[in-house]
Structure 1
Amino acid sequence: MIKQFKKVFPETTDLGAVCSPLRVCPIGAHSDFQGGKVKGMTIDASVDMVKLLVRMAI
Protein backbone atom coordinates (compact mmCIF):
# COMPACT_ATOMS: atom_id res chain seq x y z
CA MET A 1 0.00 0.00 0.00
CA ILE A 2 2.87 2.37 0.78
CA LYS A 3 4.46 1.61 -2.60
CA GLN A 4 1.22 2.56 -4.38
CA PHE A 5 0.92 5.76 -2.32
CA LYS A 6 4.50 6.74 -3.26
CA LYS A 7 3.68 6.21 -6.95
CA VAL A 8 0.84 8.74 -6.68
CA PHE A 9 2.67 11.13 -4.31
CA PRO A 10 6.40 10.63 -5.03
CA GLU A 11 7.51 13.66 -3.00
CA THR A 12 6.29 12.21 0.31
CA THR A 13 8.64 10.56 2.79
CA ASP A 14 8.30 9.14 6.28
CA LEU A 15 5.06 7.19 5.75
CA GLY A 16 3.32 4.68 7.99
CA ALA A 17 0.53 2.17 7.38
CA VAL A 18 -2.40 1.24 9.63
CA CYS A 19 -4.83 -1.67 9.28
CA SER A 20 -8.04 -1.87 11.32
CA PRO A 21 -9.97 -5.16 11.08
CA LEU A 22 -13.76 -4.93 10.96
CA ARG A 23 -16.20 -6.43 13.46
CA VAL A 24 -19.93 -7.03 13.11
CA CYS A 25 -22.66 -7.13 15.74
CA PRO A 26 -25.63 -8.89 14.11
CA ILE A 27 -28.23 -7.65 16.65
CA GLY A 28 -27.61 -3.93 16.32
CA ALA A 29 -25.36 -1.12 17.36
CA HIS A 30 -23.68 -0.91 20.75
CA SER A 31 -25.99 -3.11 22.84
CA ASP A 32 -22.88 -4.40 24.64
CA PHE A 33 -22.49 -0.97 26.30
CA GLN A 34 -25.88 -1.42 27.98
CA GLY A 35 -25.14 -4.78 29.60
CA GLY A 36 -26.81 -6.87 26.88
CA LYS A 37 -25.39 -10.08 25.46
CA VAL A 38 -23.55 -9.66 22.19
CA LYS A 39 -22.15 -12.28 19.90
CA GLY A 40 -19.71 -10.31 17.80
CA MET A 41 -17.91 -11.77 14.83
CA THR A 42 -15.15 -10.72 12.53
CA ILE A 43 -15.33 -10.53 8.77
CA ASP A 44 -12.56 -10.80 6.22
CA ALA A 45 -12.33 -7.06 5.60
CA SER A 46 -10.48 -4.10 7.01
CA VAL A 47 -9.95 -0.38 6.74
CA ASP A 48 -6.42 0.29 5.52
CA MET A 49 -4.79 3.71 5.67
CA VAL A 50 -1.44 5.30 4.84
CA LYS A 51 -0.39 8.21 7.00
CA LEU A 52 2.29 10.85 6.77
CA LEU A 53 4.38 10.96 9.94
CA VAL A 54 4.90 14.56 11.03
CA ARG A 55 7.16 15.57 13.85
CA MET A 56 6.33 18.86 15.51
CA ALA A 57 8.74 20.89 17.62
CA ILE A 58 7.35 21.90 20.98
Structure 2
Amino acid sequence: MNLHDLTETELSDHLNAVLAEQERRAALATIPGQIASMSATFQAGGGDVDELRAAVG
Protein backbone atom coordinates (compact mmCIF):
# COMPACT_ATOMS: atom_id res chain seq x y z
CA MET A 1 0.00 0.00 0.00
CA ASN A 2 1.40 3.36 -1.00
CA LEU A 3 0.21 5.88 1.55
CA HIS A 4 1.15 8.76 -0.76
CA ASP A 5 -1.60 7.72 -3.17
CA LEU A 6 -4.41 7.82 -0.59
CA THR A 7 -6.85 10.68 -0.29
CA GLU A 8 -7.13 12.41 3.09
CA THR A 9 -10.31 10.46 3.79
CA GLU A 10 -8.71 7.14 2.84
CA LEU A 11 -5.64 7.94 4.94
CA SER A 12 -7.80 8.85 7.92
CA ASP A 13 -9.84 5.67 7.51
CA HIS A 14 -6.65 3.63 7.32
CA LEU A 15 -5.29 5.28 10.47
CA ASN A 16 -8.53 4.55 12.32
CA ALA A 17 -8.39 0.92 11.23
CA VAL A 18 -4.78 0.61 12.40
CA LEU A 19 -5.59 2.19 15.77
CA ALA A 20 -8.59 -0.10 16.21
CA GLU A 21 -6.42 -3.13 15.45
CA GLN A 22 -3.79 -2.01 17.94
CA GLU A 23 -6.48 -1.57 20.58
CA ARG A 24 -7.88 -5.04 19.83
CA ARG A 25 -4.44 -6.64 20.13
CA ALA A 26 -3.68 -4.82 23.37
CA ALA A 27 -7.01 -5.96 24.82
CA LEU A 28 -6.32 -9.57 23.86
CA ALA A 29 -2.91 -9.35 25.52
CA THR A 30 -4.07 -7.75 28.76
CA ILE A 31 -7.56 -9.11 29.45
CA PRO A 32 -6.49 -12.61 30.59
CA GLY A 33 -4.24 -11.11 33.26
CA GLN A 34 -6.96 -8.71 34.34
CA ILE A 35 -9.42 -11.57 34.66
CA ALA A 36 -6.94 -13.62 36.68
CA SER A 37 -6.36 -10.70 39.05
CA MET A 38 -10.06 -9.99 39.42
CA SER A 39 -10.76 -13.68 39.98
CA ALA A 40 -8.19 -13.84 42.77
CA THR A 41 -9.69 -10.74 44.40
CA PHE A 42 -13.21 -12.16 44.06
CA GLN A 43 -12.25 -15.50 45.58
CA ALA A 44 -10.18 -13.90 48.36
CA GLY A 45 -13.27 -11.89 49.29
CA GLY A 46 -15.30 -15.06 49.65
CA GLY A 47 -16.82 -15.14 46.18
CA ASP A 48 -18.11 -18.45 44.86
CA VAL A 49 -15.86 -19.77 42.10
CA ASP A 50 -18.80 -21.50 40.41
CA GLU A 51 -20.62 -18.17 40.23
CA LEU A 52 -17.52 -16.65 38.69
CA ARG A 53 -17.20 -19.44 36.12
CA ALA A 54 -20.86 -19.01 35.15
CA ALA A 55 -20.37 -15.28 34.67
CA VAL A 56 -17.29 -15.74 32.49
CA GLY A 57 -18.97 -18.40 30.41
State whether TM-score is above 0.5: no
Larger fraction in helix: 2
**Larger RCO of the pair (alpha carbons < 8 Å, separation 6+):** 1
Q: TM-score, normalised on structure 1?
A: 0.21
Larger fraction in strand: 1
Q: TM-score, normalised on structure 2?
A: 0.21
